[in-house]
């Protein structure tokens, strides 16, 4: 029997590949997304799921293609920023649909308006533009201009964007891939930035997770950084193994 639930997928850089492992375990349990709300790395994975790709198809496609050089374009270095053009090209080449409203699974992409800091949910329009807007971490990546408005990473306004499912969060499966690691005074700049961002997101994420049917946050993901794209297989397996274990005690009732 196939069970369908709304899913929320968080951001998390390379850790976002754990979403694929989580979704694979869900598929094996007969649970599939009825709708998806996502931001940042979660929106990259979510776009392919909403487009009809299975978790295994996503895993194979991305393990073959994804590297840091694919994700960013270093020769577009302006004012301290780098570009996500290569990621956009990859998605346009491989996605089967172009617009959010045409996807077989309803898909809501959360970005942050860089003028007023408010969350913006894209429900219609170009899929790739919305995903790039939701994935543009300030300082690292250029803001994405859509209709003359600059948008940046949706994590700044809510890294677990459950807003599209307000009023029915009891149905939602929320996946957060940013377990906070133990404090290490010897952490480098990248680790410190990662920790700082997700500590600042923590209150909003907890609020979003409250009342959800199932909240998944694999603890072992704290071992991976946001740029660990060379460890995608391990990240995938971490999400898959953890979810397989917790689903052993989970009973889903489809209303």
Q: Are 14 and 43 in contact (CB under 8 A)?
A: no
| Catalytic status, residue 40 | yes
Is the C-alpha dihedral spanning 125, 129, 132, 134 positive or negative?
A: negative
Tell me the chain's radius of gyration from C-alpha atoms: 17
Candidates 153, 157, 194, 208; catalytic one:
153
37 beta partners = 8, 108
| Catalytic status, residue 89 | no
Tokens 């694929």 found at: 20
- CA dist 173 and 121 (Å) reads 19
Candidates 40, 135, 136, 157; catalytic one:
40
DSSP class of residue 224? Answer: S
- Could you list the active site residues? 40, 153
């Amino acid at each position: 029997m196939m069970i369908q639930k709304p899913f929320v997928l968080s951001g998390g850089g390379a850790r976002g590949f754990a979403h694929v492992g989580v979704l694979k375990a869900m598929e094996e349990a007969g649970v599939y997304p009825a709708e998806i709300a996502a931001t940042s790395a979660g929106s990259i994975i979510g776009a392919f799921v909403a487009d009809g790709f299975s978790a295994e198809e996503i895993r194979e496609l991305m393990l073959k293609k994804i590297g840091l050089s694919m994700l960013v374009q270093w020769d577009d270095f302006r004012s301290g920023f780098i570009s996500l053009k290569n990621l956009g090209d990859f998605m346009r080449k491989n996605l089967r649909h172009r617009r959010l409203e045409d996807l077989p699974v309803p898909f809501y992409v959360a970005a942050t308006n860089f003028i007023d800091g408010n969350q913006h949910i894209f429900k219609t329009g170009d899929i790739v533009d919305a995903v790039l807007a939701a994935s543009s971490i300030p300082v690292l990546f250029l803001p994405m201009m859509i209709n003359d408005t600059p948008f940046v990473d949706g994590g700044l306004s809510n890294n677990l964007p459950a807003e599209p499912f307000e009023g029915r969060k009891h149905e939602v499966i929320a996946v957060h891939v940013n377990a906070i690691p133990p404090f290490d005074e010897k952490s480098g700049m990248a680790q410190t930035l990662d920790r700082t961002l997700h500590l600042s997101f923590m209150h909003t994420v907890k609020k979003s997770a409250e009342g959800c049917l199932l909240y998944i946050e694999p603890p072992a993901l704290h071992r991976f950084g946001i740029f660990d794209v060379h460890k995608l297989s391990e990240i995938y397996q971490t999400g898959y193994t953890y979810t397989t274990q917790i689903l052993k005690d989970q009973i889903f009732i489809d209303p």
